[in-house]
Amino acid sequence: MSLSKPVGADDQVLLSFRGPDTRQGFTDCLYHFLVDAGIRVFRDNEEIRPGEKIQEILRAMNNSIICLPIFSRDYASSKWCLRELAEMAERKKKIMPIFYGVTPDDVKVRTCLYHDALTRHEKEKDKEQWENALKEAVQSTNLKSSKDPTEVVKIKG
The residues assigned a catalytic role are: 84
| SS3 per residue for 27-89 | HHHHHHHHHHCCCCEEECCCCCCHHHHHHHHHHHHHHCCEEEEEECCCHHHCHHHHHHHHHHH
Q: Are strands 41-43 and 66-71 parallel, antiparallel or unpaired?
A: unpaired
CA distance 131 to 127: 6
3-state class (DSSP) for residue 112: helix
User: Is residue 136 within 8 Å of residue 69, measured between CB atoms?
Assistant: no
